[in-house]
């Protein structure tokens, strides 16, 4: 489905990318996209009205001083702020500094999903940014984006991205094929991932647990990181340190606590590493959690 992209509107409400560290405390290193709806479903809010709000100069009396990078509804989009700059959409310093803001028509229609998926894919490709999607409610107290299903939207956008780039996106970087076995691993509140060697453990087993397989390349990553070789005999009580980056792709019924337990991490540490307020924060199927940078 084709859409039109209107680039004739430039909102005055933005922070230049280079000014983000001073304004927000974060550089404009984009970590993903924040998805909004521009009002409650069935509120009657219009494209023109929303455009007016997002374009209203923050210096004008009565201006809300807000903006977004893109507005989207079935068959059309508008770019109001360059992705290179921070739009004022999330009510959160990091959300503004490090994400791209998309305002969707709140109709939650198949058409709006489809156009949003196509625009996301184009922006991902043009700007080379991560595909993670954040609901506005991750950044501040709000119901936004209502009933939008971001797992569905991301799947649709990945399909469009594959069409645009001609290549299927690579598989998630690290996905161990099985959940941990009955190993009795001690839990340490450490920030570097390590495996405490027990009787019968091998580098293959450890590589499979953390890196998804026991390929020669992955075993070499581990041995290089530990200054050992593939022939080194592991002794009970040794610690094998695991090189990053490590990610976990969230699936049901994962929680921050269950994922932290798998890696022997303190749940609060893991939450903070991922810029979540605490270990009870909501996480989303299909998004990734950073285990080690
Ligand atoms: Zn919002």
* C-alpha to C-alpha distance for 210 and 200, rounded to whole angstroms: 17
Q: What is the 3-state secondary structure (H, E, C) of 140-164?
A: CCCCCCCCCCHHHHHHHHHHHHHHH
pLDDT at 180: 47
Which pair of tokens denotes residue 195? 């495996």
Q: How far away, in angstroms, is 114 Cα from ligand 1 center?
A: 19
Q: How far away, in angstroms, is 86 Cα from ligand 1 center?
A: 15
Three-class secondary structure of residue 270 per DSSP: helix
Q: How far away, in angstroms, is 139 Cα from ligand 1 center?
A: 9
CB 33 within 8 A of CB 102: yes
Other beta carbons within 10 Å of 2? 7
Q: How far away, in angstroms, is 257 Cα from ligand 1 center?
A: 28
Stretch (H or E) spanning 242: none
Q: How far away, in angstroms, is 33 Cα from ligand 1 center?
A: 12
Q: How far away, in angstroms, is 232 Cα from ligand 1 center?
A: 54
User: Who's near 68: CB < 8 A, 6+ residues apart?
Assistant: 36, 54, 80, 81, 87, 89, 101, 102, 103
Which runs of E-coded beta strand occur in the chain? Answer: 4-6, 14-15, 32-37, 70-73, 76-79, 86-87, 99-104, 133-135, 194-196, 239-241, 246-249, 288-292
Ion ligand 1: residues, CB < 5 A: 36, 136, 144
What CATH number labels 246-292?
Answer: 3.10.350.10
CATH T-level topology, domain 4-165: Lysozyme-like (3.40.80)
The pLDDT profile of the chain, 293 residues, written as one tens digit per residue, is 799 999 999 999 999 999 999 999 999 999 999 999 999 998 889 999 999 999 999 999 999 999 999 999 999 999 999 999 999 999 999 999 999 999 999 999 999 999 999 999 999 999 999 999 999 999 998 899 999 999 899 989 999 999 999 876 555 445 444 444 444 444 444 567 888 888 888 999 999 888 888 999 999 999 998 889 988 889 888 888 888 888 888 888 888 888 888 887 888 888 888 988 888 888 888 888 898 88
Q: How far away, in angstroms, is 50 Cα from ligand 1 center?
A: 12
Find, among 104, 99, 110, 102, the residue nearest to 146 by Cα.
Answer: 104
| pLDDT tens figures, 119-162 | 999 999 999 999 999 999 999 988 999 999 998 999 899 999 99
Q: How far away, in angstroms, is 290 Cα from ligand 1 center?
A: 25
pLDDT at 188: 44
pLDDT at 280: 83
CB 14 within 8 A of CB 86: yes
- Distances from the Cα of 96 to the Cα of 24, 69, 227, 228, 278, angstroms: 8, 11, 42, 44, 21
Q: How far away, in angstroms, is 16 Cα from ligand 1 center?
A: 21
What is the b/e burial string over 244-271, where b = at least 16 CB atoms within 10 angstroms of the residue's CB?
Answer: eebbbebeeeebbeebbebbbbbbbebb
Q: How far away, in angstroms, is 249 Cα from ligand 1 center?
A: 25
Which pair of tokens denotes residue 1? 């489905």
Where exactly are the structural domains of the chain? 4-165, 246-292
Q: How far away, in angstroms, is 289 Cα from ligand 1 center?
A: 23
Q: How far away, in angstroms, is 162 Cα from ligand 1 center?
A: 27
Q: How far away, in angstroms, is 37 Cα from ligand 1 center?
A: 6
């Amino acid at each position: 489905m084709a859409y039109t992209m209107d680039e004739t509107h430039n909102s005055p409400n933005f922070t230049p990318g280079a000014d983000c560290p001073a304004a927000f405390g974060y550089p404009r290193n984009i970590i993903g996209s924040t998805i909004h709806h521009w009002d409650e479903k069935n509120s009657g809010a219009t494209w023109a009205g929303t455009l007016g709000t997002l374009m209203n100069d923050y210096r004008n009396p009565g201006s809300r001083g807000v903006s977004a990078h893109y507005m989207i509804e079935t068959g059309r989009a508008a770019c109001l702020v360059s992705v290179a700059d921070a739009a004022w959409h999330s009510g959160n310093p990091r959300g503004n500094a490090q994400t791209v803001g998309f305002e969707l028509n709140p109709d939650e229609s198949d058409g709006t999903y489809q156009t949003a998926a196509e625009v996301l894919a184009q922006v991902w490709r043009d700007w080379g940014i991560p595909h993670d999607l954040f609901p506005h409610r991750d950044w501040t107290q709000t119901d936004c984006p209502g009933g939008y299903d971001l797992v569905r939207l991301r799947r649709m956008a990945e399909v469009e991205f594959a069409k645009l780039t001609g290549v299927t996106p690579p598989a998630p970087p690290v996905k161990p094929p099985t959940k941990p076995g009955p190993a009795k691993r001690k839990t340490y509140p450490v920030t570097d991932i390590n495996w405490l060697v027990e009787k019968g453990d091998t580098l293959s087993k450890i590589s499979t647990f953390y890196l998804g397989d026991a390929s020669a390349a992955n075993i070499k990553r581990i041995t290089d990181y530990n200054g050992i070789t593939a022939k080194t005999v592991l002794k009970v009580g040794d610690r094998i340190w695991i090189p990053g980056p490590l990610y976990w792709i969230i699936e049901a019924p994962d929680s921050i606590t269950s994922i932290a337990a798998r890696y022997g991490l303190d749940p609060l540490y893991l939450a903070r590493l991922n810029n979540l307020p605490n270990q009870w924060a909501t996480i989303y199927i299909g998004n990734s959690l950073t285990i080690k940078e």
